[in-house]
Amino acid sequence: RMLDDIRGAVASASGETLRAAAHSLKGAAANFGADPTVRIARDLETLAKSGDMTRAAELLAPLEQEAARLIAAVREFSGGEACAS
């Protein structure tokens, strides 16, 4: 859901929605020690505050890759149980 919110916010150039979604993702990723995801989310939060949606859009692919790694790690840790993405 957070990734969907981030994608939607970038697509609609909604800085406040992007800031809030990136902030939520940053906190959730930090709980798992997912530093690369935390860094990207922090960068997205900063870009949202400055209104730089072009650069924010460029971070979507790396964010997707890191989120996929995080989800895979959580699934492996939980014995293959599905988790929300």
Full pLDDT tens readout for the chain, 85 residues: 899 999 999 999 999 999 999 999 999 999 999 999 999 999 999 999 999 999 999 999 999 999 999 989 888 888 866 555 4
Spell out the domain ranges in the chain: 2-77
Task: Give CA–CA dist 81/58, Å, rounded.
Answer: 31
Place of tokens 């969907």: 4
